[in-house]
Structure 1
């Protein structure tokens, strides 16, 4: 009987332990990746100090006093668009038709749609209500993060953890397109209809405002990113594009992100200091969401891998490996790269979009915007830690390594 191809990195003196693998993963990260939490906190701190000690600075980016577009001051609008264009430039839009021809990708798409667009928003809504039931504005900001599925930073986490790059690209494209359609109705559904809260304006007017914000803050970056990528690939070739153009474009995402946070805390820092006790409550639902979403997806994908192999004719696990004292030895058929891609896609959120829509809809001095800022403040270090945990789990479980075209 033909056996499944199984890969095992066992805990022994010959191979690194899970803990050593965790530390090795941390050492393999780029210095700038490790410094992200520090630079974000620095941008927030400097912005708050300026806001508190230079009161006039709070009005510098007030959309009611200066040039604005969709309710956002032009300088802030530029920062938010700039931070979203580079990740879209990294997505292989020109190869989507080739990727969709692979059976394993089509299978994983159905799983991802359910986990990302059914489970994810419902989980974040439930956690927001459980922890912020007395603070409707902060709760709405957290729910808006849950409705925004990740299309940007997940590329980084997936690469660090060793996930499946082709699958990640397809999931990002899918989430980008679905977000254009679903974010506005989801925001109304989870923030107001399910929750029972009443918006300050009619739901139809709020829907139109959110849809317009999504069109601007996701539509414009998507159009710009796709145009830049395709124009340079067809004029210079993919190799030169990735070597020169993408290398120049990539840092602007974090530059724009830090600039946006800096500006927001200049205008919002004074209020943030006086509401710090309430604002810190937003940490609870986010930490719970990242943890529950990631580890639950990990368990689900391991189980689905086992079920799939059980149903495959002529496929069994290597009995020699099963007798080893290894965690997860009864579910040895899951594919590590696919499991990691699904885990990080479900656990991550598009904080750029939720932040942009919160500012556009509720104002840059709103509590919804403050909650949206806390998202990346937590997500960046937490996802870095999960990326290293993933590396440790790779040596703790037995993983299947069949070729992708067999469906894994």
Structure 2
């Protein structure tokens, strides 16, 4: 563990988290992957351990710890070998809850953040739409004010925790004529009339409930508006830096997990009178893959360090996701090859890793979109600024 970023306390936390995951999560992963449903009782256990409150204020039940506790949580979650379970956790803690914490009123924080930290409620973030994809500014969902309510109509898709979460953080256009300058953020209760959800059948992330959500004249009190009206786009962009770093950390962690498993397999697998980790072609490929993984990991740690200091890290976090997710795909592709026929078998972990990893360059902004964002920053000298 890199002592530049991790303290002895981080190490103790990692060991305790490993014990918890080995006892409470790993024995049930295969069942959750097959059923597509995570046992809801696990969320209260996470809450009781404080894992949902690592980054949040003590006033709401959180621990107010530095971002490297988040990094440890993300890294260890990848080792349970269920991208869907890991996503269900971080989509609640670092997507939905981030907006509640940053833009929610005191009343909203008491109603949603407090039980989110304790594990009594889970949330989802609803931004992506069927016709918009990564084009946040092109969203069609509207929230039209009428007396003391907003009436929300539209749809969202590819929403992690989209079916079974207790509340939804929803982006909608309150001033459609203003384009991306007319988006606002709301929090909705799952049981509000007019909300319906359909489960999507995915290639990977099988344990998580990814859904398409429809809003049909949903009546939302004005008190459920978060932050200022029409400032939602800047809030979303500001929090994207954290989401992209999260996906970068997830990527280096699953690549490391794949490499460690593969190295163990290669040391035990014999061919032509020796273990296959003695063949030069394989050894040199492993050396290249491990180098790529370590380079991404060190870069991601540096981004986390600067983000923890309050720096605005859109460029670097975008680079983190772009490079790390591509690296993880390449590493896991090669690791599956090292296992030969066993890599293609569902009884071995690589097949699931292979499927789950493929979402990395797609979710949270496709690699193509990220390259265009970086091109604007690097070539066009565009400056992204935090919400004011």
TM over 0.5: no
TM-score by length of 2: 0.27
Which is bigger in relative contact order (C-alpha 8 A, separation at least 6)?
A: 1
TM-score by length of 1: 0.26
Higher helix share: 1
Higher strand share: 2
